[in-house]
A and B are shown apart, each in its own frame.
Chain A
């Protein structure tokens, strides 16, 4: 059992609305100042100069690793926005040591991720495979447009099978043209920013989605895994089977049906969500993450996004001893779109319960693998 250092140092978060894009970095630094930083994470709209924000944070916290990415919206425990930025400082009382690296995925995922993890291992003088997963946790920010999330997560698992890497895919305010990730002063539009922290306090992982099984189970009988397309469910055209299950015709399948009725891969009674994106050639369905042939999945019905989020965060706070010092959160863009449609942004911020937090709306979430329509988070205790 690792020794825990009690601390009264709190995590500090900052938010900038983006009303003055050139001043976002200064605004964040002003909101975060006065903290003995162990690590810094920031999330900014593509409307903001992310490289400048990164530089200003690196200059303000030269002793701490800084990672970040572009978003499809960002939030703290006080405010949410699109077009702005959020950031969080994990102080040295929460994070004893930390190291970050940027994996450039342009020339191959495996070597890049392994190389970055080796760099982190050298900096921290540890072997990630052997560390106590109750003491070390990783963050991973992956560019959101190259479909590399599954493999990045697999390589992370191969290198550190017992350790959690939690994170999300960078966004670009739904333009789908370029997403960036940052580590220190380095930027990549086709990369992954990795951060490993040695926590001085207990922490837990949140994986919350607002769905329950609808009572229809399917087996994937034909799929193009690399393209994330399912061609057949139960031996029949996937779009036809799915449309029948949700009470629609294929022509009627649209974002509303897809968002309310994703598929869930059930693991120990909990759904790991795979979200449909579009019908392909009138018979297949393209998803936002891979589903393999032979997998059994359940059709899901949506439930109460805010109530479920609040309950998951409260449960996490209980797990870390009843009081949280801070959190970093990764919330799916499809959940943000539901929040847009139902005017739920303030209730979402309120559901965080005042825990100092920075997070962003993602193009995909990571924890042990790649998932959709989910909130993933790391909640730190005291």
Chain B
């Protein structure tokens, strides 16, 4: 169980990967997040990586998908 809030998209991506386990599972989740937020969790733009608003938006999309990271 994660106890601290993710501070960056990189952090979120690694937490998600840990949660999913199987690397092939990442693809559909990343695509769903991108379609909902415009943010590519696998290859984010440099200015997005630590942008707290972007991190919060992606975090919320992941939570809606059932991944409380």
A residues contacting B by CB (< 8 A) are: 129, 133, 154, 157-158, 161-164, 220, 265, 267-268, 272, 292, 294-296, 368-369
- Which chain B residue shows the least CB distance to A371? B35
Q: Which residues of B contact A157 (CB under 8 A)?
A: 32, 65
Number of A-B pairs, beta carbon distance below 8 Å: 46
How would residues 35 to 47 of chain B score, 1 for a CB under 8 Å from any chain A CB and 0 otherwise?
1111010100000
Interface: B14 (CB within 8 A): no
Asked if A292 and B34 make an inter-chain contact with CB atoms under 8 angstroms apart, the answer reads no
Interface: B31 (CB within 8 A): yes
Asked if B37 and A292 make an inter-chain contact with CB atoms under 8 angstroms apart, the answer reads yes
Asked if B66 and A161 make an inter-chain contact with CB atoms under 8 angstroms apart, the answer reads yes
Interface: B23 (CB within 8 A): no
Most buried by A among B34, B35, B65: B35
Asked if A368 and B31 make an inter-chain contact with CB atoms under 8 angstroms apart, the answer reads yes
Which residue in A292, A294, A295, A368 is a CB contact (below 8 Å) of B32? A368
Which residue in A161, A267, A292, A294 is a CB contact (below 8 Å) of B29? A161
Dominant SS at the B interface?
Answer: helix
Asked if A161 and B31 make an inter-chain contact with CB atoms under 8 angstroms apart, the answer reads no
Given contacts A161-B65, A161-B66, A268-B42, contact A154 B36 (CB under 8 A): yes
Given contacts A158-B64, A161-B65, A161-B66, contact A368 B28 (CB under 8 A): yes
Q: Which residues of B contact A369 (CB under 8 A)?
A: 31-32, 35-36
How would residues 5 to 16 of chain B score, 1 for a CB under 8 Å from any chain A CB and 0 otherwise?
000000000000
* Whole-angstrom CA separation of A368 from B29 in the bound complex: 9
